[in-house]
Amino acid sequence: MLKITNLSASIGNKEILKNVNIELEAGNCLLVTGQNGAGKSTLLHAIMGRPDINITGEISLAANKLHSMECHERARAGVFLAHQAPPTIDGVNTMTLLNEINKVHDMPYTRSELIAEASEKFLNMQLPNDWKKRAFNSGASGGERKKNELVQSQLFKKKTKLLLLDEPDSGLEQSSRQKIIELIEETCIAGGSVLLVTHDKELQAKYSNNKLDLSNA
């Protein structure tokens, strides 16, 4: 269960979130809405532990006090953020990074299984053939970066207790929406929770029964 109590978040001197409270049972998806600048992405990054976001309040995921953990520790505790604008990381090979993520998650795959699974998922997402050999997101379009995020989310969903989806649909073709829905459903069935930020009307409609509006936060 995700429990956020009196969370306030600021970047520099600018307060972005004030007294946000969330209780989300395992196996559920919460749609986070609000106008531009309301703090939707900031909420996800505050949960993930972005170093330049100062927070007060408490964030707990099951027995883990996330608010007192470093970002990489939160990831290892099962928090997975599919970024809105994933960077190109010069010098970091895609497959080497996947291998390292696999290691920090106690090896859900053997090395050969990971290569096979990743290759299949990259193919399924219609990413280029040489994708896994490239430097991370090197030469990638915005849509390809988002697909890369979805592939990673799929690969490690069994280790994910809290999936944070930051506009996963932006830059993607309509047909990818179904993959996002499948990812959310599978994560919830496996006992994980999902926070979804999206401007996609169909996704918003599908998950509107459990909604947090940050417009006044």
Binding site for other proteins (CB under 8 A): 48-52, 70-72, 75-76, 81, 83, 86-87, 89-93, 95-97, 99-101, 104-105, 133, 135, 152
The Cα 81–Cα 75 span in angstroms is: 8
Question: Closest separation between CB of residue 96 and other proteins, Å?
Answer: 4
Tell me if 22 sits within 8 A of 211, measured CB to CB: no
Question: Closest separation between CB of residue 87 and other proteins, Å?
Answer: 5
Tell me the H-state helices in the chain. Answer: 40-48, 71-76, 94-104, 111-124, 142-155, 177-189, 201-206
Identify which of residues 89 and 205 has a Cβ nearer to other proteins in the complex. Answer: 89
Question: Closest separation between CB of residue 80 and other proteins, Å?
Answer: 8
Identify which of residues 99 and 170 has a Cβ nearer to other proteins in the complex. Answer: 99
Six token digits for residue 37:
């600048």
Question: Closest separation between CB of residue 66 and other proteins, Å?
Answer: 13
Question: Given the DSSP bridges, would you call strands 211-213 and 193-197 parallel, antiparallel or unpaired?
Answer: unpaired
Question: Closest separation between CB of residue 97 and other proteins, Å?
Answer: 7
C-beta contacts of 206-212 below 8 A and 24+ residues apart: 206/181, 207/29, 207/30, 207/31, 208/31, 210/28, 210/29, 210/30, 210/31, 211/30, 211/31, 211/32, 211/33, 212/20, 212/22, 212/30, 212/31, 212/32, 212/33
Identify which of residues 1 and 97 has a Cβ nearer to other proteins in the complex. Answer: 97
Question: Per DSSP, what are the bridge partners of residue 54?
Answer: 10
Identify which of residues 22 and 77 has a Cβ nearer to other proteins in the complex. Answer: 77
Question: Closest separation between CB of residue 33 and other proteins, Å?
Answer: 23
Identify which of residues 71 and 190 has a Cβ nearer to other proteins in the complex. Answer: 71
Identify which of residues 143 and 181 has a Cβ nearer to other proteins in the complex. Answer: 143
